[in-house]
Amino acid sequence: MAQLSPETLASPAQALPFWLSLGTLPVAVAGLTWGGLWVLALPAYCWILFPALDAALGLNKDNADPDTPDDQLKVYTLLTLIWVPIQLATLCVTLWYLPRSAMTGWEKAGMIFGMGVMAGTIGLNYAHELLHQKPKTERLAADLLLASVLHSHFRSEHMRVHHLYVGTPRDTVTARYNEGFHRFFPRVLIGQRRSAFASETAMLARKNLPWWHRTNPFWRYWAFQAAFLALALALGGREGLVIFVAQALIAQWQLELVNYVEHYGLTRRHLGEGRYEHALPRHSWNAAHRATNWLLINLQRHSDHHYKPDRRFPLLQNYEEDEAPQLPYGYPVMTSLAMIPPLWKRAMNPRVRAWRKQFYPDISDWKPYNKAKNPMPKGAPPRT
């Protein structure tokens, strides 16, 4: 394992592979222009090409110097910002063109599916990176990407709920042990919207303000989403509105597949009276696969993201097996497995059990954890 110096990290050669996500733009144009099997090129680009590159290129365990200053990371920051107009322009062209095109029904469906995959795999991932940063321009960019798939509440849920309560019953998006994705998905779609709104309401209540106060970010969320719905209607009429909602749902499905994989079955030790240990690197699944980390801007180094949420993606650190659990494949393969629960459980349940034995050998009864209750296992540390 090597450490990359700030000078090495800032070099174009080091940054260039992360820009491969922009390859989805010509692929989308090809699908709109030529139709036919080209409409399936977007999911193939994300789900087939990059896992194949993983198989060829292997793992990357090199770490950047975490103290690298922001002025050495401009080429990486530019990537996340430049993606916003690219995705939104592609969406607008699609909303205008598809209702007027001579494409068959299945070709249109394939194109809509591909747009949703692009928005969910790349766009929402970039939104996640941007919403964690301090500059207002980056957070605004995140809001636009989230609103473009009707998922604006994610900003509140992720910052005020997930990062605080990951690995506990209070976190909706921590997948429970033996919970199949098809049960997880509807639970999360409803639950995270409730928890996001409740978190903002509680924040306002601490300031003696009602939920309808103008500082509630949900007013901004709703306004942005309404603007995108109106834009879809203006560009493509009723069909454009259907296309927009469909690609948004597909993008949300992609995001929740990743949420499902990231923390499946991993729980923090209960300390009694509803308290849990601090989140540690062991509470996230990691993957060091080189190519898919290029595509997903190091999202698969998820343990370090929870350790330092505002750390920019090129600085995220890799963890070895003695500190954090490892996935056998990158996210595209693992999310595909998650769609087939028997295969998923065959691959992952033994890994969860091995993780429990490695990090919590003193806990013999995991039933309360499996049911997402607040257990008091034998051997838990006393209250501090």
Distance CA 171, CA 194 (A): 12
Write out the DSSP string of 190-236: HHHHHHHHHHHHHHHHTTT--TTSTT-HHHHHHHHHHHHHHHHHHHH
Expressed as residue numbers, the domain containing 124 is 3-370
Per-residue pLDDT of the chain (384 residues; tens, 9 = 90+): 678 888 888 888 899 999 999 999 999 999 999 999 999 999 999 999 999 999 999 999 999 999 999 999 999 999 999 999 999 999 999 999 999 999 999 999 999 999 999 999 999 999 999 999 999 999 999 999 999 999 999 999 999 999 999 999 999 999 999 999 999 999 999 999 999 999 999 999 999 999 999 999 999 999 999 999 999 999 999 999 999 999 999 999 999 999 999 999 999 999 988 889 999 999 999 999 999 999 999 999 999 999 999 999 999 999 999 999 999 999 999 999 999 999 999 999 999 999 999 999 999 889 888 876 655 444 433 332
In a domain, 384, yes or no: no
- The type of residue at 55 is A
Provide the domain count of the chain. 1
The answer to whether residue 164 sits within a structural domain is yes
Q: Is residue 382 part of a domain?
A: no
Query: Could you count the other beta carbons within 10 Å of the beta carbon of residue 165?
Result: 18
In a domain, 364, yes or no: yes
Which uninterrupted H or E stretch holds 361? none
Asked if residue 256 is part of any domain, the answer here is: yes
Report if residue 13 sits inside a domain. Answer: yes
159-190: per-residue pLDDT in tens? 999 999 999 999 999 999 999 999 999 999 99
Return d(Cα 308, Cα 292) in angstroms, integer. 21
In a domain, 303, yes or no: yes
- Residue 36, both tokens: 């036919």
The DSSP code for 176 is P
User: Does 378 fall in a domain?
Assistant: no
Residue type, 40: L
pTM: 0.94
